[in-house]
Structure 1
Amino acid sequence: MSVEVSEELRGPLVDTHGRVHRDLRISLTDVCNLRCTYCMPAEGVPWLARENILTTDELVRVAEIAAALGIVEVRLTGGEPLLRPDAVDVVARMAAIEGESGPLEVSMTTNALRLPTLAGPLKEAGLSRLNISLDTLDREVFKDLTRRDRFDDTLAGIEAAIEQGFAPIKLNTVAMRGVNDGEMTALLHFAVEKGLELRFIEQMPLDAGHIWSRPEMVTGEEILDALGKEFTLTEVAGRGAAPAERFLVDGGPRTVGVIRSVTRPFCGACDRVRLTADGQLRNCLFARTESDLAGLMRGGGSDDDIARLMHTCIAGKLPGHGIDEPGFLQPDRPMSAIGG
């Protein structure tokens, strides 16, 4: 497949605030084999109809056009992306896409449950990096939090990723009061011993039940205070557009990250755009509107039409997500349906 985007549309995806977008997050599916309380309800999730999920050819077409518009990294997300039957093929085809600065860097966010069998094929297909969700080291807490008894499978998936030589491997931990806020140092010890980079994330209002509470949220400052009781943390300069503030642990070389999306937003440097599994383009994780790429593609839209829609979507990006503003409204879609 090769796309044809006119020269006048090949400029970078820049919004009205001067932010250049280089990172495309693509959700491969909205389904998941866990039911994390901060993301999905226990039952009654209305899955997307199969015919509405973008095909692999459609995903590749969007990625090729995005690469022509300056996107350099594609992160594959879900739901759980490895539940898509052709996930390895998607990785291989994405990794073969050439942008103006070389091949796309293809990474993935996963819960690791399918990595024991797929880590090797994913590495061979060209996957460069892995982000793995791990919120606790306590089997019972894991069972209550995810509503599934899959803790050992998660650890096996992490080990499989290590054995295949993925680097870096980042562990994503959502900090939750009364759930895992007493495990901060234990999680960091685990990550350091395994040679992994742990990233603590402030819980965001993206749960399906809309029960997120700002006063109950564990703040980044609280996380750093807890870690500081056992570790010496030295901030790493040069964050750029990365969402995480990074700190050397006891002088390095290992680092820990803290993503303070709520208390210290990094919207001013955001370079990310998201494509949902059903082909809706979102210029912000918390956007209240979407651009219908699927409808345009399936209605016969040209590559230029798609490129033009991407430019228009990005041009309409707001300066920030506004979580701390009085009029903030949580997106209608939960995180599982948006893609991380």
Structure 2
Amino acid sequence: MLDQFGRDIRYLRVSVTDRCNLRCRYCMPEEGVEWVPHSAILSYEQIVRLVGAAAQLGVEKVRLTGGEPLVRKGLAELVREIKHIYGIRTVCLTTNGLLLADQLPALLEAGLDGVNLSLDTLDKAQFAALTRRDGLAQAMAGLEAALAAPGLTVKVNCVPSGENDSQLVPLAALARDRDLTVRFIELMPIGLGSSLTRRTEQEVLARLEEAFGPAIPCPQDTLSGPSRNVTFRGFQGKVGFISALSHQFCASCNRVRLTATGFLKTCLQYDQGVDLKPLLDSGADDHALLEAMRQAISHKPAHHHFDGAHEARDEGRNMNQIGG
């Protein structure tokens, strides 16, 4: 489906829970987290119905997120149901990896196409400091399990925050001998992320070229999102950059988000969109759902304004609550 600016919306990120087994400093507070009641969370049946409607509007790729999606029971069955929806080509998962090794066989059998593993450091002590949990060994076990799975697309997502500068080169080096993409995602000034230091694409790339030599550009895959990928001499994999602030890509944005509570969110910065759960709970028919989604997507904002002044409709929740 085309929005009012002619962007073809083909990618839906679906948050299945706001809960997480880590407390990453840019995402969640250490204590006092107020969880959404289970009664307010979309059921799997409701998620499947909404993804089916999105597919009718042209969505081809679905990514399951959280919080941490693997803390919700039965996720493999949701993957299976979504894979059976006509028009959906790809179903992927973003995870911190702690529970991945155990659940991956069922996810693969259900048809999972790809895994993005969030990993900001390879140092055990730093991992514990950044996530407030001791989980590096489990995350690395999840990564190795994913890399061993035939045909599974594997990406590592790192947020350079000024606190993991020493780890940028070691993380990128994961792609030297492995068929994966290590992506550096600029810190978004949303929620707790607003108080941390951001490292730009230019800063990170300079560090990597100092270590590995000149970057070699790679072809762009539009369905895979806004990552600008490069590689280095001798690398088997790739290094990517998702730089929403220093290299704004709003003009080519092809995604919308569905929160765990059923709000179709059309831009990460703004709280605008449409709340679909009341429609589902009231027994609305498919036509009503499609029309509500069509109207929200049509009015997707032209761009974010993270580098400007605060506006009344800016998002005020933390990333775990909006399925960032």
Residues 1:205 and 2:203 are matched in the alignment = no
- Give 1:300 shift: 1.7
Q: How many residues align?
A: 321
2:294 aligned with 1:306, yes or no? no
Matched ranges for 1:222-261 at <5 A: 222-231=203-212, 232-238=214-220, 240=222, 242-250=225-233, 253-261=236-244
- Is the 8 Å Cα contact of residues 25 and 130 (structure 2) preserved in structure 1? yes
Partners of 1:92 and 1:237 lie apart in 2 by 31
Name the structure 1 match of 2:202: 221
Contact 2:220 2:228 in 1 (8 A): no
**What RMSD, in angstroms, separates the aligned Cα atoms of the two structures?**
1.6
Match of 1:31 among 8, 14, 19: 19
TM-score by length of 2: 0.95
Preserved contact between residue 203 and residue 217 of structure 1 (Cα < 8 Å):
yes
The correspondence of residues 164-203 of structure 1 with structure 2, limited to 5 A, is 164-177=149-162, 179-203=163-187
Q: Following the alignment from structure 1 to structure 2, what is the Cα–Cα distance between the partners of residues 129 and 198?
A: 14
Higher deviation after alignment, 227-236 or 27-36: 227-236
Where structure 2 has 5 or more consecutive residues not aligned to the other structure, the ranges are: none
Alignment of 1:1-340 (within 5 A): 12=1, 14-99=2-87, 103-177=88-162, 179-207=163-191, 209=192, 211-212=194-195, 216-231=197-212, 232-238=214-220, 240=222, 242-250=225-233, 253-327=236-310, 331-340=315-324
Query: Contact 1:247–1:257 (CA<8 Å) still a contact in 2?
Result: yes
Give structure 1 stretches of 5+ with no counterpart. Answer: 1-11
- Deviations 1:26-45, CA, capped at 9 Å, x for gaps: 00100000000010000111
Aligned-residue sequence identity (percent) comes to 39
Superimposed CA distance per residue, residues 33-81 of structure 1 (whole angstroms, 9 cap, x where no aligned partner): 0000010000111111100111111011001111111110110000000
Q: CA deviation at 1:206?
A: 2.3
**How far, CA to CA, are the matches of 1:195 and 1:240 in structure 2?**
20
CA distance in 2, matches of 1:124, 1:41: 35
Is the CA contact 1:94–1:104 (under 8 Å) kept in the aligned structure 2?
A: no
Deviations 1:220-256 (A, max 9, x none): 1000000010223112243536211100221654210
How much has 1:194 moved relative to structure 2?
Answer: 3.1
Structure 1: how far apart are the matches of 2:199 and 2:179? 26
How far apart in 1 are the matches of 2:69 and 2:299? Answer: 28
